[in-house]
Amino acid sequence: MASKPHRIYRHRVSTRLWHWTNAIALIVMLMSGLMIFNAHPRLYWGEYGANMDTPWLWIGPTPEGGGHLLLGRSIDIPTTGVLGRSTNPNGSINTHAFPHWATIPSGYSLAGARRWHLSFAWIFVLATIGYALVSLVNGHVRRDLLPKRHELAPRHLWKDVVDHLKLRFHGDEPGQYNILQKLTYGLVLFVLLPLVILTGMTMSPAFDAAFPWLLDLFGGRQSARSIHFVCAAGFAAFIVVHLLLVVLAGPINEIRSMITGWLHVREVKGHGAEGPGAGPRAREEQTA
């Protein structure tokens, strides 16, 4: 059947600005955070944690000259060459938890990493607050992110899972986020974001002095550090999956839409618009 090319206005200016600002800030914070972790590559629960205490997670070198990730007392995962023991560009051996190519700065510097991390943390927090306020005012949260009752039905959820497995990402309402996107973005925006910000504040003595209830909320500074690390791992996993889906959905079209706001779709006669951004609520423009 004949198809007509269309452009759908998918992303508002506020969404695009927040997306790219936070993408840069988040990557810098993740990489500088790994360097900060290298200073003490162990995680604990509770108020205190030091070398003689038993960590629930430890990344480091083994006595045999390898590297490993240790979970608790029993799970020992070999990671030689990547975690715990790797090779620097000059051929020297790096026995820090994370390799040079995964950290900012690449050479060991706790002070430098803290400066990078805290500077971009302010950008991250201020951009998120601004985006949240704009999204509440323009109705983006209510209209696009909150799941509708029928979308939460098991049958609807399963259909969306099957569509994703078949690499069909547009769903029944192509102009809107599908339910898996809404649940994922909801988890990131309303769970991971608040947790990573609050636990970051809890690790700061200055914020502890101003808000002492933070230590009680998370059960101590070491617990806050552990939760902060888990949230960071969640963000890293989200980025990987997000990029994978962008590639599968068509990277040029998807990236262009996040720069210009317009997503190119095609409409097959008798079947409506096809593509990840088509839909009845999106502003539509037919192209020549």
Identify whether the C-beta of residue 45 lies closer than 8 Å to the C-beta of residue 219.
yes
Q: Among 17-26, 84-93, 257-266, where is mean pLDDT lowest?
A: 257-266
pLDDT beyond 90 at 179 = no
More confident residue, 233 or 91: 233
| pLDDT confidence of residue 173 | 57
147 and 67 belong to one structural domain? no
Distance CA 212, CA 177 (A): 39
Q: Are residues 179 and 86 in the same domain?
A: no
- Spatial separation of the C-alpha atoms in residues 274 and 285, rounded to whole Å: 14
How many Å separate Cα 215 from the centre of its chain?
25
Where do the DSSP E strands lie in the chain?
A: 3-9, 42-43, 57-61, 67-71, 75-78, 86-87, 93-94, 262-268, 272-274, 283-286
Residues 59 and 159 occupy one common structural domain: no
Position 229 pLDDT exceeds 60: yes
225 & 249 share domain: yes
**DSSP, res 267:** E
Query: For position 242, what pLDDT does the model report?
Result: 92
pLDDT in tens, 187-196: 999 999 999 9
Which residues form the domain of 260? 3-41+103-286
- The answer on pLDDT for 11 being more than 60 is yes
Over residues 100-127, mean pLDDT: 95
Q: What is the pLDDT of residue 249?
A: 80
Residues 231 and 122 in one domain: yes
Give the SS3 label for residue 129: helix
What pLDDT does residue 20 have?
95
- Would the pLDDT of 279 be above 60? no
140 and 84 co-located in one domain: no
Is 139 a residue whose pLDDT tops 50?
A: yes
Q: What's the pLDDT score for residue 7?
A: 78
pLDDT of 211 > 70? The answer is yes
Burial 144-177 (b: 16+ CB within 10 A, else e): bbeeeeebeeeebeeebeebbeeeebbbeebbbb
For residue 275, pLDDT over 50 is answered with no
> With bands split at pLDDT 50, 70 and 90, how would you rate the model's confidence at 5?
low
Give the per-residue pLDDT at 104.
97
- Range among 43-57, 83-97, 213-227, 254-268 with highest mean pLDDT value: 213-227
Q: What's residue 271's pLDDT?
A: 45
Does residue 152 or residue 110 have the better pLDDT? 110
Nearest to 203 by CA among 192, 214, 188: 214
Confidence at residue 214, expressed as pLDDT on a 0 to 100 scale: 95
pLDDT value of residue 221: 94
pLDDT band at 181 (very low <50, low <70, confident <90, very high): confident
Beta bridge partners of 274: 266
pLDDT at residue 4 in the model: 57
The whole-number average pLDDT for the span 25-32 is 98
Regarding whether 87 and 31 lie in a shared domain, the answer is no
Domain check: are 169 and 234 in the same one? yes
Single-letter residue type at 31: M
Based on the domain organization, do 31 and 53 belong to the same domain? Answer: no
Whole-number Cα distances in Å, 16 to 81, 137, 190, 261: 38, 16, 19, 7
Question: What's the confidence (pLDDT) of residue 200?
Answer: 95
Predicted pLDDT at 145: 84
pLDDT at 113: 97
Are both 194 and 61 inside the same structural domain? no
Give the model's pLDDT for residue 283. 54
CA dihedral angle for residue 146, residue 151, residue 154, residue 158, rounded to 10 degrees: -100
Does residue 82 share a domain with residue 107?
no
Tally of domains in the chain: 2
Which CATH number do you get for residue 35? Answer: 1.20.950.20
pTM score of the predicted model:
0.85
Same structural domain, 81 and 107? no
